[in-house]
Amino acid sequence: MEEGNLNTIYRWHIKDPIYWKEDIRVTIQQIGHDGSLYERKDDWSVSSFWYEPIPSKPLPQMPKFNARIQDYESKKKTEE
């Protein structure tokens, strides 16, 4: 990564929220232009926030790290 080539982008959906009931999958397409269009290979990270009525039921306990990543590589390969 070259110094000075970092960007930060914020998108808060206050006026135009995105609603979902159980889960959501978001794809970020990265298109660059250097005289012609090309697919960029940038490193992105995303956070999602949700709001619940209070009081709500307690969330289930978070699974241990190894349990959460056990099928990460196989899912990653099927998405490519």
Residue 46 CB partners (closer than 8 Å, separation 6+) = 26, 28
pLDDT at 46 (0 to 100): 73
| pLDDT value at 27 more than 70 | yes
Model pTM score: 0.33
| pLDDT value at 1 more than 50 | no
| pLDDT value at 35 more than 80 | yes
DSSP, residue by residue, 19-77 = --SS--------EEESSSEEE--------------SS-PPPPPPPPHHHHHTTHHHHHH
| CB-CB contact of 31 with 37 (8 Å) | yes
**Who has greater pLDDT, 29 or 5?**
29
At 5-24, the pLDDT tens digits run 666 666 666 677 777 788 87
